[in-house]
Structure 1
């Protein structure tokens, strides 16, 4: 049995999630996406041509089908990746394609006679393309707890959704009680080192560590601030921190919940309000502190106190330590069921 797993290239959370799940059945999963070569932990993969356009070159909106999001014309990368995916489907005959995420890939799979499971992220996704991708999937997988979902999700979408929090690895570690870890990912803007330096100066009793991209500091870096940049052991840094500060993407939120650490969320702009939705729900449930803009230096002592005062139980209930194994088993069950569909009886036409 072969299960394909399509990985979107925005940020790195999709890849990490796919690798964590696929490692449970490494002989059955094949990852498909752009920039995967050498980054799948030894799992089989199909590295796809890039489909991105310069924003100013996006056109053809007047003729875009209502059921699709991104279909620019005359793009060689898209032509090549569609051909490569279709050729792989024809050759490998996968039992299932997990789509994390792309409406267009979900539609392509169905056109190529392949059932799908669609990964549904947070945010307002009631537009026609998303609804059609949901409708065409055998099941929908939401990589978060049910209580973090939007309250106005269509009932049929909610009923079709399997909520599966905890889709990240866990690394127990000794907590450094005075460490604030600031995390910037691949999918957003780099951090402002000068603004972080001001926050560190305002909280001299804390040690600040920064991982991910940031703009170079223009002044002296305080002694309680360490600018690490890209690291290979991000999960270890998260596990050791006392407080985590970062965006509200699935990857960081899931990692913070898995490590059982207080989280301060500064949501980044994303399509469909994905991060704003997640940050608002976390804050409303008392599982994180959501902020809308980088605070003034004088606000940091109180903000860190607020984060420390969050009740651990509020965030602990949103995590499933067996989430990865459960997701892998669920997808394998979906693939098995797709191989042996229940015959449907079609009644006489009226």
Structure 2
């Protein structure tokens, strides 16, 4: 048995967890407070879902929530937190898992390790050298990162070995984008897809103003407060000449799977996570990045320049799929988990070789 803890913030952690669960041969239990639709489970006979209560009551405060700066979120006398930790301990005692992969939680990482369970944790982008992260990194048998090798394999704070970059794990890695994309380039008017999330920056009025200035394009918006949401945006991503999106790890991995031409607009996140991801995208030269202080004219210019790049090679992708090492990423992460399950105390400083582009799952 292998356990996977998927954080409930956004949808990316759960999507990554289920993509990797599909590649494991072991029995798997996904522990999460996020809602999991029946259709999302890749193998209901082998992959079980254990719902966890939320560790908060909607308030961002509590009694000593950081335990004096040593943890991220452990407020005293919080019933949801108490119940979720009790469920975790009961599940570990009942199933005796070979390991738990946490994506992500310092507190769940430590709680599992305190039961004697080997733990693998995801390291997210950004500056993560604070005391809680250093403590969690130090107790793990391995650390993995959902970014390409070109972004580096540092030794995280508190760890004694490099993390393992496996590439961008996407739920769309088994799909080929070329056929759908060619349709967009036969059309006269460029097509821009704006993916808006549910976070605080989703209603950024600059993008409404930019859309109004770009009268020469067909502008399609998905998501956002009061907007249209679809469970599977794949066809829209592939049909678009340009996709405007935040720079969350799963968002960029999914866009890389579509080999999309991207304008990334990183949103404010703890530890500058999205800024770090967008910066690497820009270093690769495979996406435009706009800042939170940029003007509407800057946004318009970035979209127009990216349209020009997309249309300079009709029918071709951006090259992001290969550069972000999407193909085989879920398998590589599953390989790390399997290795730890077999030999929890073995040193791991390897970087798995990438799977050939287009290999799929």
TM norm structure 1: 0.84
Aligned equivalent of 1:203: 214
Aligned equivalent of 1:348: none
Whose radius of gyration is greater, 1 or 2?
1
Aligned counterparts of 1:297 and 1:337: Cα–Cα separation in 2: 54
Aligned equivalent of 1:160: 162
Aligned counterparts of 1:276 and 1:38: Cα–Cα separation in 2: 31
Secondary structure of the corresponding residue to residue 100 of structure 2: strand
* Offset, 1:282: 1.7
Within 5 Å, which residues of 2 pair with 1:288-299? 288-293=287-292, 296-299=295-298
User: Is residue 114 from structure 1 mapped to residue 117 from structure 2 by the alignment?
Assistant: yes
Secondary structure of the corresponding residue to residue 343 of structure 2: helix
Secondary structure of the corresponding residue to residue 289 of structure 1: strand
Secondary structure of the corresponding residue to residue 32 of structure 1: strand
Secondary structure of the corresponding residue to residue 112 of structure 1: coil
Aligned equivalent of 1:44: 48
* Offset, 1:102: 0.3
Identify if the C-alpha distance between structure 1 residues 254 and 161 changes in structure 2 by more than 3 Å, giving closer, same or farther: same
Secondary structure of the corresponding residue to residue 180 of structure 1: strand
Aligned equivalent of 2:314: none
* Offset, 1:319: 2.2
Aligned counterparts of 2:153 and 2:97: Cα–Cα separation in 1: 32
Aligned equivalent of 1:17: 16
1:74 aligns with one of 77, 80, 86: 77
Aligned equivalent of 1:345: none
* Offset, 1:125: 0.3
Aligned counterparts of 1:321 and 1:27: Cα–Cα separation in 2: 22
Aligned equivalent of 2:358: none
Aligned counterparts of 1:52 and 1:26: Cα–Cα separation in 2: 34
Within 5 Å, which residues of 2 pair with 1:142-181? 142-149=145-152, 154=156, 157=159, 159-168=161-170, 169-170=172-173, 171-173=175-177, 174-175=180-181, 176-177=184-185, 178-181=190-193
Identify if the C-alpha distance between structure 1 residues 157 and 29 changes in structure 2 by more than 3 Å, giving closer, same or farther: same
Contact 1:97–1:114 (CA under 8 A) maintained in structure 2: yes
How many residues get paired? 325
Aligned counterparts of 2:218 and 2:111: Cα–Cα separation in 1: 49
Identify if the C-alpha distance between structure 1 residues 261 and 30 changes in structure 2 by more than 3 Å, giving closer, same or farther: same
Aligned counterparts of 2:10 and 2:215: Cα–Cα separation in 1: 32
Measured on the aligned residues, the alpha-carbon RMSD in Å equals 2.7
Aligned equivalent of 1:84: 87
* Offset, 1:94: 0.2
User: Is residue 100 from structure 1 mapped to residue 103 from structure 2 by the alignment?
Assistant: yes
Aligned counterparts of 2:294 and 2:108: Cα–Cα separation in 1: 40
TM norm structure 2: 0.81
2:334 aligns with one of 328, 332, 338: 328
Aligned counterparts of 2:266 and 2:153: Cα–Cα separation in 1: 16
Contact 1:286–1:314 (CA under 8 A) maintained in structure 2: no
Unaligned runs of 5+ in 2: 311-316, 347-361
Secondary structure of the corresponding residue to residue 273 of structure 1: helix
* Offset, 1:4: 0.1
Aligned equivalent of 1:233: 232
Aligned counterparts of 1:298 and 1:69: Cα–Cα separation in 2: 39
Secondary structure of the corresponding residue to residue 257 of structure 1: helix
* Offset, 1:329: 2.5
Secondary structure of the corresponding residue to residue 123 of structure 1: coil
Moved more, 131-140 or 35-44: 35-44
Secondary structure of the corresponding residue to residue 286 of structure 1: coil
* Offset, 1:66: 4.3
* Offset, 1:186: 3.8
* Offset, 1:241: 1.8
User: Is residue 58 from structure 1 mapped to residue 58 from structure 2 by the alignment?
Assistant: no
Identify if the C-alpha distance between structure 1 residues 67 and 76 changes in structure 2 by more than 3 Å, giving closer, same or farther: same
